[in-house]
Amino acid sequence: MTVSASHSLHLNYESKCSRLHGHNWRITVFCMAKHKDENGMVVDFSHVKRLIHGRLDHGNLNELLDFNPTAENLAEWIVGQIPQCYKAVVEESEGNVAMCVDEQMTVGVPAALLL
Ligand SMILES: [Zn+2]
């Protein structure tokens, strides 16, 4: 999904990223479950979209989130929003990508299945 949102970063060094600016964040959410639910799903895509896109799109991340909205922190927040999510990839701009993996969820799962 793509989320259009602004942010400014609180950094301990000089950076243009400290000024308010926007991105079209490309976000990929990876979910897993031992068993699908009675609807045959791990999680409804529209539920994921509502939780992430619905809350952040066309917003200022500094106002919507209570942490410094770096791509890394955003990926971590996304993993925490969806119980079935074990990995989130956040592309702030082309080639600038952060990823968070919940290693507790992936214990015992073959690495080849976690692409
Ligand atoms: Zn930025």
What is the Å distance from ligand 1's center to 40 Cα? 37
What is the Å distance from ligand 1's center to 12 Cα? 15
Q: 109 pLDDT band (50/70/90 cuts)?
A: confident
pLDDT in tens, 49-98: 999 999 999 999 999 999 999 999 999 999 999 999 999 999 999 999 99
What is the Å distance from ligand 1's center to 81 Cα? 21
What is the Å distance from ligand 1's center to 51 Cα? 21
Q: 105 pLDDT band (50/70/90 cuts)?
A: confident
Domains along the sequence of the chain with CATH? 2-113 (3.30.479.10)
DSSP string across 37-65: -TTS-SS-HHHHHHHHHHHHTTEEHHHH-
The pTM assigned to this predicted structure is: 0.92
The answer, yes or no, to whether residue 110 has pLDDT greater than 80, is no
**Own/partner pairs, 15-21, CB within 8 angstroms, 24+ separation:** 20/60, 20/62
What is the Å distance from ligand 1's center to 86 Cα? 24
